[in-house]
Amino acid sequence: MGESKREMKLGMFFAPGGHHLAAWRHPDAYPAGFSFDSYLKAARAAERGCFDMLFVADVFSLTPSGNRADSFRFEPITLLSALAAATNKIGLVGTATTSFNEPYNVARKFASLDHISGGRAGWNIVTSSSSIEALNFGLDAHFGHAERYARAREFVDVVRKLWDSCEDGALVIDKASGAFFDKARVHTIDHKGTYYKVRGPLSLPRCPQGNPVLVQAGSSEDGMSLAASVGEVIFTIQRTLEGAKAFYAGIKAKADASGRDPRHAHVMPGVLPYVGRTRQEAQDKHDQLLALIHPEAGLSNLSKMMDVDLMSADVEKPFPALDIAKLTQSRAVGIVEDARKQGLNIRQVYESLVVSKGHRQLIGTASDIADSLQAWFEGGACDGFNVMPPMMPNGLDDFVELVIPELQRRGLFRTAYRGSTLRDHLDLPRPAGMRD
């Protein structure tokens, strides 16, 4: 029997109101405040579309500007645990930074989510990039880039050890003998490293998935190294087919060099799809959101992304000649490079690049969108996509109702879930315990 046809992996990245900078101002957008109902509707819509996972991001600070829809947000594990009880199949992926957390707490939270959801949890590993976050944790400044990733590598190592500190079968609950768990199958980890000292074991049985799925987003050399060594899903910003193919090949080669099966490191670039029943309808949806951008919001978001104060800049002036070597985010580097190549002014930069958070925008019919996704998927550029609806709920509904059926018709995406865990959806093996 031959191998089954390779299928796309699809994540649904939820953002309050939508991913477009001005989406929250659209009259049909979800409320951009504390609306659990909007998350619940999105999760159920994505599950109807058979998405592999729902993904929520997180930061530990309030955005200073009052014009961002994601200024206020729920704590991810609390949110995803509530969604776990209201969904059945879709994976639930949340962000937790390694810079402002402790490994034991993160290991316990995601293991709990995996048990609560029946094996659908995923941890998006980030190091945080905002210096504002550091001020909320007794620090005067964020760690330097190299130290952030050194801490992250050790942090992930400790979390994985904790997840494996209880062997499969350790929870015996033998009423006759009076043994609740088998002490011989529960182990301390006694980790003593550069940044962390953790005894263990974790106060939970081993997860249904063995370990929650590890997700990583980062395109710097350090980010790619971490992704290739541990990432089972790698979110990335790629705007050109050539760049995406180079990134994809690089991740696969690094994963192989790390002793991993490259097939178990799924690369999923972000896309913002504007879907219409006609191309003009799709273009109108894009243009309507573009017209809602307030210049102050554009400058504020551009300043945040560049980590440079551009609030007093003339939006019609050429984009400033920023020193790429001093930029701390890979998406910022990409924006500067694109602005130079295309000769964009400041307004054009925030209208074309910042509104999409640096990701690729697709505008067209379901067939047009499917054509583009298929070309990248079959062209050696990715294993799937992290779908970022420009506006919620309409953008997600359009994708589920129009694009998903087109992908299914082409045999590129599942028509039903074939398993119950996130690892099942992603064709990832259940990892063996460290003592197996």
pLDDT tens digits along 110-155: 999 999 999 999 999 999 877 778 788 887 777 887 888 999 999 9
Task: Report yes or no on 233 lying in a domain.
Answer: yes
Q: Reduced to 3 DSSP states, what percent helix, strand and coil does the chain have, rounded to the nearest 5?
A: 40, 15, 45
State whether 207 and 308 are in the same domain. no
Half-sphere exposure in the Cβ direction for 13 (13 Å, CA): 28
Looking at residue 338, its pLDDT comes to 77
Mean pLDDT of all residues in 347-368: 83
State whether 263 and 350 are in the same domain. no
State whether 169 and 32 are in the same domain. yes
- Give the lowest-confidence range in 105-119, 211-225, 239-253, 287-301: 287-301
Decide if 75 contacts 35 (C-beta within 8 A). no
Domain finish residue from 325, 354, 383: 354
Looking at residue 84, its pLDDT comes to 98
State whether 315 and 405 are in the same domain. no
State whether 299 and 371 are in the same domain. no
Structural domain count of the chain: 2
Across the chain, what does the average pLDDT equal?
89
CA–CA dist 436, 430 (Å, integer): 12
* Position with higher pLDDT, 61 vs 206: 206
CA–CA dist 85, 391 (Å, integer): 25
State whether 115 and 83 are in the same domain. yes
Looking at residue 282, its pLDDT comes to 98
Task: Report yes or no on 62 lying in a domain.
Answer: yes
Give Rg (Cα) of the chain: 22
**How far is CA 35 from each of CA 15, 39, 80, 82, 240, rounded to the nearest angstrom?**
12, 7, 14, 13, 35
Task: Report yes or no on 391 lying in a domain.
Answer: yes
Residue 224 has pLDDT above 60, yes or no: yes
Looking at residue 65, its pLDDT comes to 56
Task: Report yes or no on 167 lying in a domain.
Answer: yes
State whether 310 and 178 are in the same domain. no
Looking at residue 1, its pLDDT comes to 39
Mean pLDDT of all residues in 392-411: 97
State whether 195 and 343 are in the same domain. no
State whether 338 and 420 are in the same domain. no
* Position with higher pLDDT, 42 vs 320: 42
Confidence band of 209 (pLDDT split at 50, 70, 90) = very high
Helix residue spans in 54-102 (DSSP H): 76-84
Domain finish residue from 354, 376, 402: 354
Decide if 319 contacts 349 (C-beta within 8 A). yes
Half-sphere exposure in the Cβ direction for 98 (13 Å, CA): 26
Of the candidates 46, 40, 57, 59, the residue with the CA atom closest to the CA atom of residue 91: 46
Half-sphere exposure in the Cβ direction for 48 (13 Å, CA): 15
Domain of residue 47 covers 9-280+358-426
CATH number of the CATH domain containing 122? 3.20.20.30
Residue 218 has pLDDT above 60, yes or no: yes
CA–CA dist 164, 156 (Å, integer): 12
Domain finish residue from 319, 335, 354: 354
Looking at residue 329, its pLDDT comes to 67
State whether 142 and 49 are in the same domain. yes
